[in-house]
Structure 1
């Protein structure tokens, strides 16, 4: 029997990729990540190892481009859809993420094959959540674009890390006539937390 491959030489799988997503979300929602990790049947050490290998792949001297890397890990995308954003025409590549059945991992690819946005979005055919007030903005409840549409006009904020996005908006707090200024933080496009920054008359 041939010797087993060391962990670093084993293929990087869709399961490993989900662990990378979870590792980046653990700073804000450790309990949710812990539950998801148990669902996937992976140890804490396994999640750390997947993240270590991911970082090594990304920063290797001869690292392949983002789109090639995702195709090698996740296979062919579930769909490829042309999309126009301003003056730019790009392709939206979608892959399923089993941990979140109603979401897809989206990579927007500009002409020339350069990936310029990578995050989670609602899967086609799945309804967006009903977001009416602060009470609806629970962790993992919505994506960046869903929050921006529900509480328009929203203003983008600089994220605290490359995989994080921020959004500033005003939302009802559930009290008659009271609205709150909010700053929401998203990891890979999925809501992690909301901070109330002020009150509107």
Structure 2
């Protein structure tokens, strides 16, 4: 007697059986940036050699991983996906001493993906930062603020005082500041970031 075919509910899900890799995580980063810079994301996707469907599937799997009732802690999840961090440093944020774990991101060789761990081990920040030893970009005027060229901290330092603003979605941040435009006029602006990387700058006046 031939064995009965497995029911649909008993078949393994190929997506779940495929390891979630550092490449998959880069696709998650790109998926969140596509709303602001679809052309840059499209070029990066071709550079990685993946399809739009693969990018969407990676993002869907990541969301499922983070929202699952059985999800592991954020720090453990990042270690599982990205491997051991390339750097571990201490960061002082106000009165809080944190441990920062950093991983390389091949799409942006001069950047690192960083998570900040509170003393109790909880992850309270996760974004892209400049790699240790990599020179920051020269940010003098608003014309220097090209998409993907700089991070939250770099814009905040270059155009101090900058006021943090709540992002429009998770993994997004905003900064309100003033800067000089191409005509030498001082303009009020809002810079928008996704995963800590600059996406666009909008004038407020």
TM-score (norm 2): 0.93
Mapping for residues 1-40 of structure 1, pairs under 5 Å: 6-40=14-48
**What does residue 93 of structure 1 align with?**
101
CA offset digits 1:17-72 (Å, max 9, x no partner):
00000000000000000000000000000000000100000001110111000000
**Structure 1 residue runs without a partner (length 5+):** none
Does residue 48 in structure 1 map to residue 56 in structure 2? yes
**What does residue 155 of structure 1 align with?**
163
**Structure 2 residue runs without a partner (length 5+):** 1-11
- The alignment partner of 1:113 has SS state of coil
Per-residue deviation, 1:195: 0.3
**What does residue 185 of structure 1 align with?**
192
CA offset digits 1:95-128 (Å, max 9, x no partner):
0001100000000000111000000000011110
**What does residue 111 of structure 1 align with?**
119
C-alpha distance in structure 1 between counterparts of 2:141 and 2:180, whole Å: 5
Does residue 126 in structure 1 map to residue 134 in structure 2? yes
Between structure 1 and structure 2, the one with the greater Rg is 2
**What does residue 197 of structure 1 align with?**
204
- The alignment partner of 1:21 has SS state of helix
C-alpha distance in structure 2 between counterparts of 1:84 and 1:125, whole Å: 19
Per-residue deviation, 1:82: 1.2
TM-score (norm 1): 0.95
RMSD between superposed Cα atoms in Å:
1.3
**What does residue 146 of structure 1 align with?**
154
C-alpha distance in structure 1 between counterparts of 2:94 and 2:15, whole Å: 44
Per-residue deviation, 1:5: 7.0
